[in-house]
A and B are shown apart, each in its own frame.
Chain A
Amino acid sequence: MSFELETAVHPEKLKRVAIEPVSRVEGHGKVTILLDENDQVHQVRLHIVEFRGFEKFIQGRPYWEVPVMVQRLCGICPVSHHLAASKALDMIVGAKLTPTAEKLRRLMHAGQMLQSHALHFFHLSSPDLMFGFGSDAAQRNVVGIISAFPEVAKKGVLLRKYGQEVIRHTAGKRVHGTGSVPGGVNKSLSVDERDQLLKDIYQMVAWSREAVQIIRGLFEKNLEEYNAFGRFPANSMSLVRADGAMDLYHGGLRARDAAGKVIFDHHNYEHYWEVISEDVKPWSYMKFPFMKALGPDDGWYRVGPLARVSNCDFIPTPLADKAREEFLAFDAGRAAGATLGYHWARMIEMLHAAETIKDLLHDEDILGTDLMAKGERAQRGVGVIEAPRGTLIHHYRVNEDDQIIRANLIVSTTHNNQPMNEAIRQVARQYLNGKKLTEGLLNHIEVAIRCFDPCLSCATHALGQMPLEVELIDAEGGCVDRLVKNQLAASSAD
């Protein structure tokens, strides 16, 4: 089946606009839009080149190297891969974690959530939100934010910095940390380190509350536009704790349909393939995951902050839970179904992460020294966490010589493949139809994609940066105009 605006009836008669790659997302992707001579939109597609090199890269390596190696998959969310791999390898070594080890991992994860959400909101999305989707591109960037809203920008930088300090103290290093290992962690938290983090955590909680109010205020100010922008009904999936609470580190899989009805609940993620599968389409290298119970046409789903906040029964920290209730009640619940609601949900999660850090720093177990556990060796391990962008699945098979013989990674951005395509088709229909395309109009497409905070580096399993190119191609395939929007001077693959 083809979705509306997925495939044009006569593409050969249409002109093609390519946004390549999408900026302010990690890695690279490309959006193609086919227009007729009256600038009516006939086809919109987000293309992401999925490269499975990383799975091959780790095949043959000893399993205990994997939690460190997988961090090299992505410069944006290395901790998510570090922890998902560690959880999978806990199964391989048969470990049930000690309380201290689990809490240190949860602390590391909350630090990652805080810094990732802060970067995305304050520096990648706030330019669109605070200046307007079609505003002057010269101002619509983080420098414009620093100039126009210096206090907001500075809080964003310091929130991010704080999250990275949490990671440094738990992972052992600022980058390429080794803290989490199969069976536990290899570094305890000292009293000095705990006290350093405690010193600033109340400020981080306060700033996170302010951030929730910033996005709420933007919704109130632009109510109709924000609720309608790229809106579409969708299923959702996330981990939840046994009591239904949001749990970003561990839980069972829960899925709901667009009306909130539960499709499956508390499904053991060690058997994720029983409930989800992946579809392929001839025009895309990236797969399209779906729930088996509904099939590929109806079973696609969104993951990430919006899915998690609306999927759980409550958030187990008080300020974030209150913020969640307000979000779900806002405008009779319409914001919770809006694509731009991702930003609001993301800030609620940032607040939850800050509260979680505060609680863990006050928990005496966090200073414990019983760090490792082991049990009966297994050959298959599955680790699932809720990464900043959504559900992240790591699945490994290990042979008797302790080598990885098979790896499969399903990343958040892949889960969100169909939702991102739906969002940009809605936006194209709402904003582009019949209009002469400008940079500001095309940025609306990117705004929709950025709601999901896609990490194309993870999705493609390859690191890379490319400039943004917009090409206008006529019906004969000739390039009539070309704009290079972002040319990075750096030439390395960083």
Chain B
Amino acid sequence: MNAPILIFGWGNPSRGDDAVGPLLVERIDALNFPGVECLTDFQLQVEHALDLKGRQRVLFIDASVEAATPFTVTPLIADKDASFTSHAMSPQAILHAFTQLEGCPPPPCWMLAVRGESFELGEQLSSSAELHLKAALQWVQRWLDA
């Protein structure tokens, strides 16, 4: 039986601020919230649609250069977007795949986009991304308490 809440972060830990997603999920996991499952991956793939099964709500987390500082939260709507033509899918496309595979709407899902600046191979997390991550962690704690 799946935990009612899923937090799913993705990114490459070795590409500077791209590590924000998995790092934030790691820190949330360390807080041991009951009823919360934390998962990470390099990128979203179609089978991740199955991770949404049986959830009450889901939070996706990724780094973004387009997000406001320190982060942006938006509700997600299933959408058949162009990312279907790639190895990596968007969260909207994952929700769409869930609908198609399961024959029912996905659970309520949100996107937490944490502002990142630099994504070069071998870089550490930038100091600004570290601040954004801390701010995002506080928001996630409130979201989980809600």
Question: Chain A: residues with CB nearer than 8 A to chain B?
Answer: 23-26, 53-54, 56-57, 69, 72, 75-76, 78, 119, 123-124, 141-143, 146-147, 150, 153-154, 156-158, 160-161, 164, 174-176, 462-463, 465, 468, 485-494
Contact sample, A vs B, 23 pairs, CB 8 Å cutoff: A56-B122, A57-B122, A72-B15, A75-B88, A119-B46, A143-B93, A153-B101, A154-B101, A157-B46, A174-B39, A174-B40, A485-B85, A486-B83, A488-B82, A488-B86, A490-B64, A491-B64, A492-B11, A492-B18, A493-B18, A494-B12, A494-B42, A494-B88
Residue of A nearest to B14 (CB): A72
Residues of B within 8 A of A488 (CB): 82-83, 86, 88, 90
Find out whether the CB atom of A494 lies under 8 angstroms from the CB atom of B82: no
Find out whether the CB atom of A146 lies under 8 angstroms from the CB atom of B83: no
| Contact mask for chain B residues 57-92; partner A; CB cutoff 8 A; 1 contact, 0 none | 000001111100000000000001111111110101
Asked if B144 is an interface residue, CB under 8 A from chain A, the answer is: no
Question: Chain B: residues with CB nearer than 8 A to chain A?
Answer: 10-15, 17-18, 21, 39-43, 45-47, 49-50, 62-66, 80-88, 90, 92-93, 96-97, 100-101, 116, 119, 121-122
10 A-B pairs with the lowest CB-CB distances in the bound complex, closest first: A75-B42, A493-B119, A72-B14, A141-B84, A146-B100, A492-B63, A57-B122, A23-B85, A486-B82, A491-B65
A492 to B93, CA, bound (A): 17
Q: Looking at the complex, which one of A57, A78, A146 makes contact with B42 (CB distance below 8 Å)?
A: A78
Find out whether the CB atom of A493 lies under 8 angstroms from the CB atom of B15: yes
Known: A157-B49, A489-B81, A494-B10. A175 touches B40 (CB 8 A): yes
CB distance from B140 to the nearest CB of A (A): 18
CB distance from B27 to the nearest CB of A (A): 16
Residue of B nearest to A147 (CB): B100
A176 to B39, CA, bound (A): 12
A189 to B93, CA, bound (A): 35
Residue of B nearest to A54 (CB): B121
Find out whether the CB atom of B41 lies under 8 angstroms from the CB atom of A175: yes
A488 to B65, CA, bound (A): 13
Please name 8 further chain A to chain B contacts, defined as beta carbons within 8 Å, in addition to the given A53-B121, A465-B86, sorted by A numbering. Answer: A24-B85, A78-B42, A119-B45, A142-B97, A143-B84, A486-B82, A489-B92, A494-B63
A494 to B90, CA, bound (A): 11
